[in-house]
């Protein structure tokens, strides 16, 4: 166990002993879980051999036990329950197909590494039924149970409280990032990461040394690598956007957050940063018309143009430009079937993993290979290859059904959802399928939808989402 493991145990004891109401206990546990899922990817709560149990997994388990007391007492929306049942049925069918009619191709499974495969350290393997599918089915069931309880128990006031407390800690994560950047790039010391490692422990695949990219040292926050911190900052940015729009929070935090996002020195930050800019434009525009949509899109193009111009300065050794150029070159080589041409780069690993996994998905497009079988550096492609098109459809329908605001076939809302999901085509985070951190994100997307509909006010949106969480 780590230092933070003991801090977490004390926090849990305080929650249970100082809150007499079961609902208050549940709410505090939910807040704690979302804080951990968004902000802390480093370290581990407990470690047995090579198996690590994260901080959020432990709290999620306790949250599930608490939620079961509500589940047996509160009414469940039949429409949502039907959608969720279809999702579970599709996932189970996929697992049964994996057992009865196993895929005869070779894959990199969840325990494997695309880097080691390309370096020749390990080979692809056959699809086999292991404990992994069972664990993922359990994790998705937990996610669904918590969604049902949140939808039935929480009010608008509860939701605002959740966001408020999540942002309290998330702002600490931003402050940590600022000090980390200063200590690394002004004093050239890794003291912040050393402190983080002492508190949270050093988990698998954690960078422990200074990472120099384009004369700038990358920052990691409470994550294992810079790209993990970029995802953290992107999620925090969306919550800040919500809080600015609804609770009139200051823009200062959003500016600092986005600046840190681009200073994290990960390729993911470019994709995520663009997504945040687009979402900001949609949310902060009071009324959407053809004229101001054109104006905002032109503004966006100017902003992106300025970013590209800045990155192009000294582009011969610019980190972002080199990685973008490498990505394009590697993609062209892979399309020509020349996998083994040139040296092994992170861009090559990422693109090959995505292309190969997509090919596997095309072999089993309806139900996928089965949950918990294969992964890639693309969240979306990984989800498709694991649960297929039908499973992906019901997953999207499940998260969209929470709140009962928008019909599935609304084109404009679908566009805003796509804006959020696009970065995950090139970012590998399989927890997108079952992470509780996606719950507040969907609410923000629903607020974006209200911008397209002059007859839907923010107050109505909040009232109608009072049972969302």
pLDDT digits (tens, 9 = 90+) for 413-423: 677 778 888 88
Confidence of residue 184 (pLDDT cuts 50, 70, 90): very high
Is a pLDDT exceeding 50 seen at residue 405? no
pLDDT surpasses 60 at 341: no
- Residue 124: phi and psi, rounded to 5, are -70, 160
Helix (H, G, I), strand (E, B) or coil at 397: helix
pTM: 0.83
Q: Mean pLDDT: which of 249-258, 315-324, 402-411, 429-438 is highest?
A: 249-258
Pick 131 or 386 by higher pLDDT: 386
Flag the least confident range among 72-86, 199-213, 223-237. 72-86
Q: Which residue pairs from 411-420 have beta carbons closer than 8 angstroms and sit at least 24 positions apart in sequence?
A: 412/449, 412/452, 412/453, 413/445, 413/446, 413/448, 413/449, 413/452, 416/279, 416/282, 416/445, 416/448, 416/449, 417/445, 419/275, 419/278, 419/279, 419/282, 420/275, 420/279, 420/445
Distance, in Å, from the CA atom of 368 to the CA atom of 383, rounded to the nearest integer, reads 9
Residue 407 pLDDT level (bands cut at 50, 70, 90): very low
Helix (H) / strand (E) element for 51: namely strand 51-53
Query: What per-residue confidence (pLDDT) applies to 67?
Result: 87
Q: Specify the DSSP class assigned to residue 467.
A: T
Structure-model confidence comparison of residues 298 and 55, the more confident one: 55
Give the pLDDT of residue 429.
78
Q: Which two tokens stand for residue 15?
A: 């929650």
CA angle 213, 337, 335 (to 5 degrees): 65
Mean pLDDT of the chain: 80
pLDDT-wise least confident of 32-46, 113-127, 353-367, 443-457: 443-457
The mean pLDDT of 357-383, rounded to a whole number, is: 90
How many Cα neighbours within 13 Å face the side chain of 242?
26
Flag whether pLDDT at 162 surpasses 80: yes
Instruction: Return the pLDDT at 35.
Output: 93
Residues 6 or more apart whose CB falls under 8 angstroms from that of 89 comprise none
> 107 exposed, middle or buried (CB, 10 Å; 0-12, 13-18, 19+)?
buried
Contacts of 401 (CB under 8 A, 6+ apart): 79, 80, 83, 408
CA distance 54 to 35: 13
Does 457 score more than 50 pLDDT?
no
Instruction: Compute the chain's Rg from CA coordinates.
Output: 22
Contacts of 460 (CB under 8 A, 6+ apart): 450
At residue 287, the pLDDT reads 54
φ and ψ at residue 252, rounded to 5 degrees: -50, -45
Residue 273: predicted pLDDT: 86
**CB neighbourhood size of 245 (10 A):** 17
**CB-based contacts of 409, cutoff 8 Å, min separation 6:** none
Q: What is the DSSP letter of 431?
A: G
Q: Are 116 and 129 in contact (CB under 8 A)?
A: no
Question: For 208-231, what is the mean pLDDT?
Answer: 86
In the chain, the N- to C-terminal Cα span, in Å, equals 32
Average pLDDT, stretch 233-246? 85
Average pLDDT over residues 130-136: 82
The string of pLDDT tens digits covering residues 266-325 is 778 888 888 888 888 777 765 555 566 566 656 656 665 665 565 555 444 566 666 666
Residue 409 pLDDT class (50, 70, 90 cuts): very low
d(CA 401, CA 184): 44
User: What is the per-residue pLDDT for 468?
Assistant: 32
65 against 340, higher pLDDT: 65
Contact 296/285 with Cβ under 8 angstroms? yes
> Count of alpha carbons within 13 Å of 404, Cβ hemisphere only?
15
Q: So what's the pLDDT on residue 173?
A: 94
The pLDDT of residue 469 is above 60: no
């Amino acid at each position: 166990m780590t230092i933070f493991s003991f801090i977490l145990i004390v926090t849990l004891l305080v929650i249970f002993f100082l809150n007499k109401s079961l609902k208050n206990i549940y709410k505090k546990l939910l807040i704690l879980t979302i804080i951990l899922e968004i902000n802390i990817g480093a370290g581990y709560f407990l470690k047995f051999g090579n198996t690590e149990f994260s901080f959020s997994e432990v709290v999620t388990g306790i949250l599930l036990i608490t939620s079961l007391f509500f589940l047996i007492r509160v009414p469940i929306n039949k429409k949502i329950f039907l959608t969720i049942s279809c999702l579970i049925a599709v996932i189970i069918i996929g697992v049964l197909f994996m057992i009865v009619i196993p895929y005869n191709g070779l894959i990199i499974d969840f325990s494997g590494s695309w880097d080691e495969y390309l370096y020749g350290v390990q080979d692809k393997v056959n699809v086999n039924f292991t404990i992994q599918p069972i664990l993922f089915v359990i994790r998705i069931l937990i996610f669904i149970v918590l969604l049902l309880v949140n939808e039935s128990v929480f009010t608008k006031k509860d939701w605002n409280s959740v966001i408020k407390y999540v942002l309290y800690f998330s702002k600490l994560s931003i402050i940590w990032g600022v000090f980390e950047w200063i200590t690394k790039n002004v004093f050239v010391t890794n003291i912040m990461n050393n402190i983080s490692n002492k508190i949270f422990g050093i988990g698998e695949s954690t960078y422990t040394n200074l990472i120099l990219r384009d004369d700038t040292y990358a920052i990691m926050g409470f994550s294992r690598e810079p790209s993990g911190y970029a995802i953290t900052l992107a999620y925090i940015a969306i919550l800040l956007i919500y809080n600015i729009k609804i609770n009139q929070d200051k823009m200062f935090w959003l500016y600092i957050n986005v600046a840190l996002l681009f200073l994290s020195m990960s390729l993911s930050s470019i994709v995520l940063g663009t997504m945040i800019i687009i979402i900001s434009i949609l949310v902060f525009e009071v009324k959407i018309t053809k004229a101001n949509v054109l104006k905002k899109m032109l503004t966006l193009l100017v902003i992106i143009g300025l970013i590209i111009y800045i990155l192009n300065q000294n582009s011969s050794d610019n980190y972002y430009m080199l990685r973008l150029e490498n990505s394009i070159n590697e993609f062209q080589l892979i399309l020509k079937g020349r996998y083994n041409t040139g040296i092994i780069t992170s861009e090559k690993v990422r693109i090959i993993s995505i292309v190969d996994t997509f090919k596997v998905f095309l072999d089993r497009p309806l139900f996928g290979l089965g949950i918990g079988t294969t992964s890639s550096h693309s969240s979306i492609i990984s989800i498709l290859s694991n649960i297929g098109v039908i499973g992906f459809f019901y997953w999207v329908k499940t998260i969209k059904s929470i709140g009962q605001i928008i019909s599935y076939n609304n084109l404009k809302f679908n566009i805003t959802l796509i804006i959020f999901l696009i970065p995950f085509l090139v970012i590998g985070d399989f927890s997108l399928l079952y992470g509780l951190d996606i719950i507040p994100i969907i609410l923000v997307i629903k607020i974006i939808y209200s911008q397209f509909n002059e007859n839907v006010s923010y107050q109505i949106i909040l009232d109608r989402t009072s049972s969302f969480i």
